[in-house]
Structure 1
Amino acid sequence: MSESTVVAEIEELTVEVGGRRIVEGVSLRVLPGRVTALVGASGGGKTTTGRALLGEFPSGARVTGSVRVDEALVGYVPQHPAAVLNPARQVGALLYDIARGQVRELPRRARRAAARERVLDALEMAQLPDVPRLLRRFPHQLSGGQQQRVVLAQALLLGARVVVADEPTTGQDALTKRRVVDELAAVAARGIGVVLLSHDLETVRALADEVLVMRDGRVVESGPTERVWLAPSQPWTRELLSEQPTLGGDTPAASDSCTVLRVRDLRARYRGVEVLHTPELALRSGECLAVLGRSGSGKTTLARCMAGLHRTYEGAVLLDGVALPRSLRDRARHQLAAVQYVFQDARASFDERRPVLDQVARTAIRLRGVSPREALAEASKVLNSLGLADELADRSPARLSGGELQRAALARALLARPRVLVCDEITSGLDTVTRRGILDLLVGLLRDRDDLSLVLITHDLDTARLASRIAVLDAGEVVQQGAAEDILTAPVHPFTVSLTEKQAMRKRSAGKRLVE
């Protein structure tokens, strides 16, 4: 590939903020029709490097090196898609604005039809179903996966020659991930250069032509994807690519313990439309229940009903046999502390103007009556245990990575000393090393605290294996539930079957590579 075909290039990029180098000496080339992936731990510099192609850097950053985009329009698909979607405008209006800008040279009568055709084509390419209904929705009415696909459609509408995809499969089920992989591969096949920033190693291996492994702002290893996967030269790369470990022992079974939370004949509505029906679901004390399903299946709606964040429903959510008020604003302080919710989009759950440490400590002050001094000390201890040093905790949320903020959100919930911890896709945006640490921590919490129960909202089968029981949701209905071993060894619903078959194929493939 000749130098003239390079559409974007970064050379010896160094970004320093507040005396700390968050990116140091990074170089990469973006070639048409090729996918370059940046992988590494949260806070390793991937997003800063990717956003440099858009000419965007953190506030107050000192930047050296060079970034060249050779007359290329750069599209960006962010990790948190809600941040770039106007909440006050319907999806159709957002997309038509872009499409009309692309057809301004056409006669007036032809513009409307051409813009509509472009929008519908982009939505189809982004794998978004039920187009007419979706166009009338506002961003907050979409699931996280749907929001990401709308943003991808925006990038396609722009006609970009370079697409920076920042965690495009975060929070999505296996079937949706496959569609995203297919779409990004099709984008590259059209001659567009793709820069993929991801913790999802399966997606990286399926898509990327070249991989750059980052740690602490530096590229520690790079090369063709298969070479890096099969023969990594650096210890950090080997650790990053290692298989998900067994979490060590069984999750405590709670068959004989009392039910702490029960969902009974729950029918949740959104703008008058029923989106979830759960006749019966029970969580016992000391138990881990995984709620498994694809994007848009109703998992988050169920979790939000439990936490008092979605109040438009019939039926009941009971704590110790007593119905909880539908809205968290009507719940007593002990009820708020008892059921804590960890958001999938951690960044949106923090106040950008206050240090993270103060916000985490506030939970203990407000819900447990702890003094500010004691709360700060406890918050620092919990954050440290999750891998966030005091220097990071004293920063504003804007200066932390998505993975770091997810850990801070978990710490904030733990400071309430909850009896039920509802975790909504909290590992979906984390690298493999950090994900293992979070899951190990959750296992330890269940073992150390007999009074703690865990609800894991997930699309990921490996994460669901942490649970003692699994409930599978599809199209707003609980289609299968029972002991985790039974669900995983004898799946009934097509979604569960597809996940187990995919994992079996992956293991067979890994074994074949090992033999070779």
Structure 2
Amino acid sequence: MTHLRTAAREPVAAVEGLRVEVGGRVVLDGVDLSLRPGRITALTGGSGSGKTTTGLALLGEYPPGARVTGRVRVPDGLIGYVPQHPAAALNPARRIGALLLDIARDRVRHLPRPGRRVAARQRVLDALARVRLPADGRLLRRFPHQLSGGQQQRVVLAQVLLLGARAVVADEPTTGQDPLTKRGIVDLLGELARQGIAVLLLSHDADVVRALADDVVVLRDGRVRDAAPADAPARAPLGGAGREGAVLDVRALVARHGRTPVLDRVSLTVHAGECLAVVGRSGSGKTTLARCVAGLHPRHDGDALLGGEPLPAGLRDRTRSQVAGVQYVFQDAKAAFDEYRPVLDQVARTAVRLRGAAPAGARREALALLGALGLPEAKAVRLPAHLSGGELQRAALARAVLARPRVLVCDEITSGLDPRSRDAVLGLLGGLLRSGRTDALVLITHDLGTAARADRIAVMDRGRIVEAGPSKRVLGAPEHPCTKGLVAADRWFAAARGSGR
């Protein structure tokens, strides 16, 4: 990809010899980095390598109690930030239209008063179009929690565009995105660079880095390292062929966000020993379906049966056994943890609360499972703020597994992980299913490589399942236009990978 080449121009921002210590632990050690107009710099590395800490340093933000040395230079001009968990950047009490119009109004104050309202609205519509969101009244009337994770992320990008930022720090912007939306974000960030905006891309997605970056900086344990080829991930299937008997049976599920329909008579069955992947574009209804099954979206019609027994629609109406029976792992793991309690305590509490385990035994079990997921005790005893997004996702998975669920529903849980960690988590999930520690697995995912390892795939579009079948058939010979589009976009990234872009 060709950007506006401006290597000779002064940096928009830079860090020099940046060192950050938190509680005696070195998070960053001597990091140098500069952002130049019109160039995309990718900062890559595994979960916990220091990518987000570096990005936030450019905004003058550091972890609580951090000791900082080195220099951060930010000349005049705004730096925008797109966080890994976009909901954290959106006011949950305000509608999307109000959030965007507030920014747009500030940008048109120089205009005569009679024309400001029209000009502000036009800026909002233009920003929505650039991030590929529908500029209709329905979306503008929604609250942030009524949007999918991908839609929330694009709203934050629209805010950054409205602010007129000279530089943008994009923290895992393609995390949790379907291939079509991911390609759209690649195009969008490329367009920002062509307009002379400096972009710092924090990402472990090698395909996105390869397609976008002018410069690549690799972090490992808080230090800048030379790039190293990623290990080829294992492609072992997650489930078996499936056994007789439906563990989860969803029948004619209908759900809305306010007056907006989200699910339209969705039905599916997951058998014992089976892994079902649910894929589709952002906003297609995947997460709402998962939340209905888990009792987190109680205002719906239709039925969900666990082992043939109807589940109450709301979590509060379910028995302890039913709550344990369907466990949900959130896409935004950070929001799922109490920020004031150590992660280990919160993980172990699941076994105590839902299984009646003794506290000491629950703690040992939690430590063993967290260790298998790459989180040693030294990290597990910390508060959530001191773990990376990827580390918190692994902790959230451990917490759910300790309930020993019959159905484990995972909503984009590998999207914030580097390739090695992602493969480790998927390997653990496959082991849980094959060993019988959970009866069935439902993966909500945008990653078609992950979906390919499921037994079956269900494709959602506009609140309906439009195609379903064995994973090899759905991905190898897609029939519905939505599936064909997703597969084609995924192959575009594969082609970019093969060409060495």
Q: Secondary structure at the match of 1:88?
A: coil
Contact persistence 1:263–1:278 (CA under 8 A): no
Shift of 1:329: 0.4
Q: Deviations over 1:159-185 (max 9, x none)?
A: 110100111111111111111111111
Provide the C-alpha distance between the structure 2 equivalents of 1:170 and 1:198, rounded to a whole number of angstroms: 8
Select which of 118, 124, 128 maps to 1:119: 124
Aligned to 1:50: 55
Quick check: 1:59 aligned with 2:48?
A: no
Select which of 327, 343, 349 maps to 2:330: 343
Provide the C-alpha distance between the structure 1 equivalents of 2:142 and 2:305, rounded to a whole number of angstroms: 32
Provide the C-alpha distance between the structure 2 equivalents of 1:451 and 1:353, rounded to a whole number of angstroms: 30
Shift of 1:130: 3.9
Select which of 241, 256, 259 maps to 1:253: 241
Select which of 438, 441, 447 maps to 1:454: 441
Quick check: 1:40 aligned with 2:45?
A: yes
Select which of 367, 385, 394 maps to 1:380: 367
Shift of 1:435: 0.8
Shift of 1:5: 2.0
Q: Secondary structure at the match of 2:466?
A: strand
Aligned to 1:401: 388
Shift of 1:3: 6.1
Quick check: 1:472 aligned with 2:459?
A: yes
Select which of 367, 391, 404 maps to 2:354: 367
Provide the C-alpha distance between the structure 1 equivalents of 2:18 and 2:255, rounded to a whole number of angstroms: 50
Relative to structure 1, the CA distance from residue 24 to residue 290 in structure 2 (aligned partners, 3 Å threshold; closer, same or farther) is same
Q: Secondary structure at the match of 1:128?
A: coil
Select which of 393, 411, 430 maps to 2:398: 411
Shift of 1:266: 1.2
Provide the C-alpha distance between the structure 1 equivalents of 2:492 and 2:319, rounded to a whole number of angstroms: 49
Contact persistence 1:38–1:211 (CA under 8 A): yes
Q: Secondary structure at the match of 2:350?
A: helix
Provide the C-alpha distance between the structure 2 equivalents of 1:435 and 1:97, rounded to a whole number of angstroms: 39
Contact persistence 1:270–1:312 (CA under 8 A): no
Aligned to 1:192: 197
Shift of 1:250: 6.9
Provide the C-alpha distance between the structure 2 equivalents of 1:134 and 1:407, rounded to a whole number of angstroms: 32
Identity %: 61
Which residue identity does 1:246 align to in structure 2? R
Shift of 1:511: 5.5
Relative to structure 1, the CA distance from residue 499 to residue 2 in structure 2 (aligned partners, 3 Å threshold; closer, same or farther) is closer
Which residue identity does 2:65 align to in structure 1? G
Provide the C-alpha distance between the structure 1 equivalents of 2:176 and 2:116, rounded to a whole number of angstroms: 36
Shift of 1:204: 1.4
Aligned to 2:281: 294
Relative to structure 1, the CA distance from residue 509 to residue 117 in structure 2 (aligned partners, 3 Å threshold; closer, same or farther) is closer
Quick check: 1:327 aligned with 2:337?
A: no
Q: Secondary structure at the match of 1:258?
A: strand
Provide the C-alpha distance between the structure 1 equivalents of 2:117 and 2:487, rounded to a whole number of angstroms: 46
Aligned to 2:264: 277
Which residue identity does 1:381 align to in structure 2? A
Q: Deviations over 1:13-42 (max 9, x none)?
A: 010100111011110110000000111101
Contact persistence 2:44–2:216 (CA under 8 A): yes
TM-score w.r.t. structure 2 length?
A: 0.96
Relative to structure 1, the CA distance from residue 19 to residue 310 in structure 2 (aligned partners, 3 Å threshold; closer, same or farther) is same
Aligned to 1:81: 86
Provide the C-alpha distance between the structure 1 equivalents of 2:266 and 2:74, rounded to a whole number of angstroms: 55
Shift of 1:404: 0.2
Q: Which runs of 5+ in 1 are unaligned?
A: 222-231
Which residue identity does 1:238 align to in structure 2? P
Which residue identity does 2:352 align to in structure 1? I
Which structure has the higher relative contact order (CA within 8 Å, separation 6+)? Answer: 2
Alignment of 1:418-437 (within 5 A): 418-437=405-424
Relative to structure 1, the CA distance from residue 451 to residue 404 in structure 2 (aligned partners, 3 Å threshold; closer, same or farther) is closer
Q: Which runs of 5+ in 2 are unaligned?
A: 1-5
Provide the C-alpha distance between the structure 2 equivalents of 1:508 and 1:179, rounded to a whole number of angstroms: 16
Provide the C-alpha distance between the structure 2 equivalents of 1:449 and 1:490, rounded to a whole number of angstroms: 32
Q: Secondary structure at the match of 1:48?
A: helix
Provide the C-alpha distance between the structure 1 equivalents of 2:216 and 2:121, rounded to a whole number of angstroms: 37
Contact persistence 1:123–1:131 (CA under 8 A): no
Q: Secondary structure at the match of 1:5?
A: coil
Relative to structure 1, the CA distance from residue 88 to residue 503 in structure 2 (aligned partners, 3 Å threshold; closer, same or farther) is closer
Q: Over aligned residues, Cα RMSD in angstroms? A: 1.7
Contact persistence 2:138–2:260 (CA under 8 A): no
Which residue identity does 2:189 align to in structure 1? L
Provide the C-alpha distance between the structure 1 equivalents of 2:64 and 2:412, rounded to a whole number of angstroms: 29
Shift of 1:106: 2.2
Contact persistence 1:198–1:204 (CA under 8 A): yes
Aligned to 1:217: 222
Shift of 1:392: 0.7
Which residue identity does 2:305 align to in structure 1? L
Provide the C-alpha distance between the structure 2 equivalents of 1:140 and 1:450, rounded to a whole number of angstroms: 32
Shift of 1:128: 0.8
Relative to structure 1, the CA distance from residue 109 to residue 511 in structure 2 (aligned partners, 3 Å threshold; closer, same or farther) is closer
Select which of 104, 108, 131 maps to 1:99: 104
With 429-438 and 504-513 compared, the bigger mean Cα shift is at: 504-513
Provide the C-alpha distance between the structure 1 equivalents of 2:142 and 2:495, rounded to a whole number of angstroms: 42
With 109-118 and 36-45 compared, the bigger mean Cα shift is at: 109-118
Shift of 1:283: 0.8
Relative to structure 1, the CA distance from residue 448 to residue 2 in structure 2 (aligned partners, 3 Å threshold; closer, same or farther) is closer
With 94-103 and 319-328 compared, the bigger mean Cα shift is at: 94-103
Shift of 1:501: 3.4
Which residue identity does 1:253 align to in structure 2? A
Relative to structure 1, the CA distance from residue 89 to residue 510 in structure 2 (aligned partners, 3 Å threshold; closer, same or farther) is closer
Provide the C-alpha distance between the structure 2 equivalents of 1:450 and 1:205, rounded to a whole number of angstroms: 38
Contact persistence 2:125–2:135 (CA under 8 A): no
Which residue identity does 2:171 align to in structure 1? D
Which residue identity does 1:302 align to in structure 2? L
Aligned to 1:264: 251
Name the count of aligned residue pairs.
496
Which residue identity does 1:39 align to in structure 2? T
Q: Deviations over 1:225-280 (max 9, x none)?
A: xxxxxxx5xxxx213xx443322x673111x4211110011112221332112443
Aligned to 1:21: 26
Provide the C-alpha distance between the structure 1 equivalents of 2:9 and 2:188, rounded to a whole number of angstroms: 26
Shift of 1:499: 3.2
Aligned to 1:484: 471
Contact persistence 2:153–2:173 (CA under 8 A): yes
Q: Deviations over 1:168-222 (max 9, x none)?
A: 111111111111111111111111100000122211111110111111101102x
Q: Deviations over 1:276-329 (max 9, x none)?
A: 124431111111011111100010111111101111211100011111000010
Shift of 1:508: 5.6
